[in-house]
Amino acid sequence: MTDPYYQDDYVTLYHGDSLKLLDQLDFDVIVTDPPYGISVNTRGASTGRGSNGRTSSGNAVSPSRDYPPIHGDDKPFDPLPLLALNLPTVLFGANHYGSRLPDASRWLAWDKLDGLTSKRDIGFNDQADCELAWTNLGGPARLYSQRWMGAMKSGEDRMTARRHPTEKPVELMRWVLAQCPDGIVLDPFAGAGSTLRAAKDLGRQAIGIELEEQYCKTIVGRLAQEVLAI
């Protein structure tokens, strides 16, 4: 078994390939934002939009910047290894690979504009106005609103530079975890660690796996902060 990269009373983080570690870990719930192949189309051809190394914004108030690579984003995402575990699961970006998922009633929608009107308030916008997450949790679809459009952000990290090109606000991830049953949470594509930070804030046990070490270092820095009183 691979030694943890980081561990505290709530969170254990591994630096490695999630597909090679899944069968070595015990967990009850999966919540993740996987690399879903934004740099390829449905036929596997390059779109020129890959998030490996550099991302750009169509928003003048949020300039382009460099990031470490997102491993696996150069091919379509296959959710089957996670679905085969038959656990409560939340998968962000699922509208990009919905044909490979079962039908589900309870999708989670994150409204990133939260009252903004794209053309009037932020000009040209090449980012999504909202993001969708597939779940097998059952019940009706749910909506969460938090502004997260370029530099126009709300919440705890509104003054913090984005740590990852697809980073989620920790408030969103706390809301997502509140939709899920109790138990140990696994995020096999931990990224900047928002899911892990949210779990720790809620006093939940969580396991994260991240292949890029620079993001592991980012996660450790976030987890070292004092737990919020929720």
Show me where the domains of the chain are located. Answer: 6-223
Helix (H, G, I), strand (E, B) or coil at 199: helix
Helix, coil or strand: residue 35 = coil
Q: What integer pLDDT is reported at residue 42 of this predicted model?
A: 37
Residue range 223-229: mean pLDDT, rounded: 76
**The CATH number of the domain covering residues in 6-223:** 3.40.50.150
The reported pLDDT for the residue numbered 56 is: 41
Tens of pLDDT, residue by residue over 177-197, are 999 999 999 999 999 999 999
- For residues 142-152, average pLDDT: 85
Query: Considering only CA atoms, which of 30, 15, 31 is closest in space to residue 172?
Result: 31
pLDDT digits (tens, 9 = 90+) for 7-55: 999 999 999 999 999 999 999 999 999 998 765 433 333 344 444 444 4
Can you give the pLDDT at residue 125?
57
For residues 161 and 29, the model is more confident at 29
What's the confidence (pLDDT) of residue 73? 75
Q: Please, are residues 58 and 215 in contact by the beta-carbon 8 Å criterion?
A: no
Rounded-to-5 percentages of helix, strand, coil across the chain: 20, 20, 55
pLDDT tens-digit readout, 109-134 = 999 998 877 555 666 556 788 999 99
